[in-house]
Chains A and B, each alone.
Chain A
Amino acid sequence: MSYLQIAGLGKDYGALTVVDSIDISIEKGEFISLLGPSGCGKTTTLQMVAGFATPSRGSIVLDGEDITREPPERRDIGVVFQSYALFPHMTVSQNISFGLEMRGLGTRERSQRIKDALELVQLPGLSARYPAELSGGQRQRVAIARALAIQPRLLLLDEPMSNLDAKLREEMHIELRAIQQKLGITTILVTHDQAEAMTMSDRVALLHAGRLEQICQPYEAYENPRTLFASTFLGKANIIRGKVLSTTNTTVDILSEDIRLTAQFNGVEPRTDQAIAFIRPEKIRIGTEPSDGHKLHGTIANVVFLGSNWLYEIDTSLGKFKVVRQNDVNPGTRLDDRVSLSWNEADLQLVHAE
C-alpha cells in the first residue's frame, strides 16, 4: 500500500464541480507535482489534502490512517502557501516556534529545531527579524523552514515560487529539491509552471478541468503525452489533424490537406476516423533544399532568437509550424525563404482529443 492514497477525491461548490474524481498513489519520499492551468482543481485538491476544504466524495489515506475528515491541526502536514502566510506579528524564530509549541516541545528542543530549520534553508542570523523586514525570497525560506521544523508526515507546496523573480525561482527549484531529497520527505507541489514541475518532481500529475489526465515521470509526460491537452500544456507542440487512412499494429497513416503522414500509437489508438497527432518543435529538422525524407514544405514566417536556440515559425499547408533549432551555427536564413521540414517517424505521435 502506498504512503499516501487519494481515491475518488472530488469537490463540488454548489452545482459547480471543481474536482471531479482524482486517484493518486504516492510513495514515501516521492515528490509529486500537481500541474495544470488555473481552475483545473489542483489547489482545491491540495486544500483537501491539507484539510482546509472538505471533500464532497472520495478518501485520503496517509500512512495507513484515513484523514479524510480529520481537522487540519491533527493531520501533521506542513504547508507552504503562495503568499507564504507568515505571522506578521512574530519574528522569524517565533514563526518557526509556533508549530513546535503546539507539539509541546521544550525550550531546548525548540531552539535546536529552529536553528536546524534556518540552517537548512540557509537563513541563519535572521531569527530576530519580522517578516516585513525580509525580502520575498527570504520570506519564502522562512515559510519552508516553518513547515519543515515540525517534521511533518507530508509537505504541501502551494505555488510557492510564483511570487519570486525568474532567476531566484530557478535557484529555489534546485535548492528545494535538494532539501526534499536530503530529508526524504514526501512532497506534493501545486504549480501551473511546467518547467517547475519537470525540474523538481519524480512524477508529474497533469490535471485538467478537475480530472487527472496523466501521471508519470516528467520525461515520459513530455515525450509521450496521451491527450491533446497534455501535449500542448507540457511544452510546445505542433498539432496535425487529419483523416485516418490505414492502420498497422503500431502506426497510423493520416491524411491532412492532401499530405500523407505516418504517426505512432504509443499507447493511444485512434477511436474514430479522425486523428490528432503532435510533434515537438525541437524534433523537426529544417533544411534549405528539398531532400529525401522531407515531410513538408514551407516558408519562414518569423524567426526569434532565444540565445541557446532559434525559434522558427514556418508557414506550411498544414498551418503554422514551430521549429526549434539549436544555436550551434548561424543558420543565415531569412524571412520568406523556402524550407523543407523533416523528422524521424517515431516523433510524430497520436494523442486523444481529450
Chain B
Amino acid sequence: MTRASEKYFPYGLLSPALLLFIGLLFIPLVLTVILSFYSFNSMSGIIPTFTTHNYKAIFTDPYYIGIFGRTGGMALLVTLLCLLFGIPETIILSRMKSPWRGLCLVLILGPLLVSVVVRTLGWSILMGREGLINDFLVFTGLADSPVRMLYTMTGVVIALVHVLIPFMIISIWASLRKLDPWVENAAQSLGGSSFVVYRRIVIPQLLPGILSGSIIVFALSASAFATPALIGGRRLKVVATAAYDEFLSSLNWPLGAAIALLLLIANLAVIMGANKLIERKYKHIFH
C-alpha cells in the first residue's frame, strides 16, 4: 500500500457511518435550523424569510415559558426520584447472592425490552379511574373516591421514573463494579459504622456513576415524548409535545422547529455543564 492510500484508508472505513450521520442527522438538523428562522402566516403558510420572530415569541410568551419551566421541573423531579430509588436499589443488588442478583437485574432491565408506548399504555390502564390502583385505594379505604392520576404531573412522573430508572441503575452499577471491596473493610477497621462507611466512603465513590446516570435520565425525561403525550394528554404539555402540536396541529412548522431547537440547546447545555463538573471534580481521583 502506498503512503497516501494508507492515510486515507481509515476514512474509507468510516465513510458508511459518516454518510449515515450526515444524511440522517446533520442535514435534517441544518434544515430545522433554517426552518426555525422562517416565518408563518395562517393564510399563506410557511414563508422563507430570515426572522428571529419565533424565538422572540417563545421567550416572551408566558405560555411557552411555562411549558419550558414545567419540562425542566419534571425532568429534575424524575432525576431526583430515580436517584432516590436507584442508589439503594443498586447497592442492594450488589449485595445479593448469585442466582438472585442475575434474576433481579433482568427484572429491572427487562422493561427496556418493551416499547415505551406499550409500557406507558400499561400505566394508563393502571392509573385510570377504574384502574387497579384506584380500585385498590378505594377498596382498602385509603381514598374515598378514585384519585386522579391520568392527565396529571404525578402520573407522568411515576411513569417516566419507571421507564428511565434502568438507565440510572446501569450507570451506578458500572461504577459500583469498579470499587475495591477492601476499601469498605479498611473504613470499618478504622472505626466507621456501616452507615458512615456508606455515606462517606461508598456513595462518594459512586458519584461519577450517579452523575452520569443523572445526565442520561435528565436528558431523556426532558425530551420524552411518548409518556407525557399518553399520560399527560394534550393539556399537560411539555416541550416535546408542544413542538409536536405546532408541527401537526397548528401546522406552524417554523415555531415548532424553534421549540425543538431550544430544547436541544437546553439539553446540550445541561449535559455539557454536568460533564465539565464531573471532569473537573474527579480528574485526579479516577484516571
Residues in A neighbouring B183, C-beta threshold 8 A: 85-88
Given contacts A81-B182, A85-B180, A89-B204, contact A99 B190 (CB under 8 A): yes
| A78 at the binding interface (Cβ < 8 Å) | yes
| B284 in complex: contacting residue of A75, A78, A79, A130, CB < 8 Å | A130
CB distance from B190 to the nearest CB of A (A): 3
Residues in B neighbouring A87, C-beta threshold 8 A: 183, 186-187, 201, 205
User: What mask results when residues 27 to 64 of chain A are scored 1 for a CB within 8 Å of chain B, else 0?
Assistant: 00000000000000000000000111000000000000
| A12 at the binding interface (Cβ < 8 Å) | no
Docked-complex contact B185 and A85, CB < 8 angstroms: yes
Report how far A104 CA is from B205 CA in the complex, Å.
24
Interface SS of chain B? helix
Docked-complex contact B287 and A132, CB < 8 angstroms: yes
Docked-complex contact B285 and A132, CB < 8 angstroms: yes
Number of interface residues of A (CB under 8 A): 30
Report how far A50 CA is from B188 CA in the complex, Å.
10
Given contacts A50-B185, A102-B196, contact A88 B286 (CB under 8 A): yes
Residues in A neighbouring B205, C-beta threshold 8 A: 87-89
| A99 in complex: contacting residue of B185, B191, B207, B285, CB < 8 Å | B191
| A267 at the binding interface (Cβ < 8 Å) | no
Chain B minimum-CB-distance residue to A156: B189
Report how far A233 CA is from B1 CA in the complex, Å.
58
| A136 at the binding interface (Cβ < 8 Å) | no
Residues in B neighbouring A78, C-beta threshold 8 A: 189-190
Report how far A3 CA is from B283 CA in the complex, Å.
46
Docked-complex contact A98 and B187, CB < 8 angstroms: yes
| A133 at the binding interface (Cβ < 8 Å) | yes
Give residues of chain B (173-210) contacting chain A, Cβ–Cβ below 8 Å: 180, 182-183, 185-193, 196, 200-201, 204-205, 207
Docked-complex contact B180 and A102, CB < 8 angstroms: no
User: What mask results when residues 131 to 150 of chain A are scored 1 for a CB within 8 Å of chain B, else 0?
Assistant: 01100000000000011001
Given contacts A87-B201, A130-B285, contact A102 B185 (CB under 8 A): no
User: What mask results when residues 87 to 115 of chain A are scored 1 for a CB within 8 Å of chain B, else 0?
Assistant: 11100000000110011000000000000
Docked-complex contact B286 and A79, CB < 8 angstroms: no
| A103 in complex: contacting residue of B189, B191, B287, CB < 8 Å | B191
Report how far A77 CA is from B180 CA in the complex, Å.
20
Residues in B neighbouring A86, C-beta threshold 8 A: 183, 186
CB distance from A14 to the nearest CB of B (A): 13
Report how far A130 CA is from B190 CA in the complex, Å.
19
Docked-complex contact B284 and A132, CB < 8 angstroms: yes
Docked-complex contact A79 and B189, CB < 8 angstroms: yes
CB distance from A70 to the nearest CB of B (A): 12
Report how far A87 CA is from B284 CA in the complex, Å.
13
Residues in B neighbouring A89, C-beta threshold 8 A: 204-205, 207, 282, 285
CB distance from B214 to the nearest CB of A (A): 18
Residues in A neighbouring B185, C-beta threshold 8 A: 50, 52, 72, 79, 81, 85
Residues in B neighbouring A51, C-beta threshold 8 A: 188-189
Docked-complex contact A98 and B200, CB < 8 angstroms: yes
Residues in A neighbouring B207, C-beta threshold 8 A: 89
What are the 9 closest A-B residue pairs judged by CB atoms, nearest first?
Answer: A102-B191, A99-B190, A85-B186, A85-B182, A72-B188, A79-B189, A85-B183, A89-B204, A130-B284
Measured CB to CB, the residues of A under 8 A from B are 50-52, 71-79, 81-83, 85-89, 98-99, 102-103, 130, 132-133, 146-147, 150
13 additional A-B residue pairs with CB within 8 Å, beyond A73-B189, A81-B185, A86-B186? A50-B185, A81-B182, A87-B201, A88-B183, A89-B204, A98-B190, A99-B190, A102-B192, A132-B284, A132-B287, A133-B284, A147-B189, A150-B190
Measured CB to CB, the residues of B under 8 A from A are 180, 182-183, 185-193, 196, 200-201, 204-205, 207, 282, 284-287
Interface pairs (7), CB distance under 8 Å = A73-B189, A86-B183, A98-B192, A99-B191, A146-B186, A146-B190, A147-B189
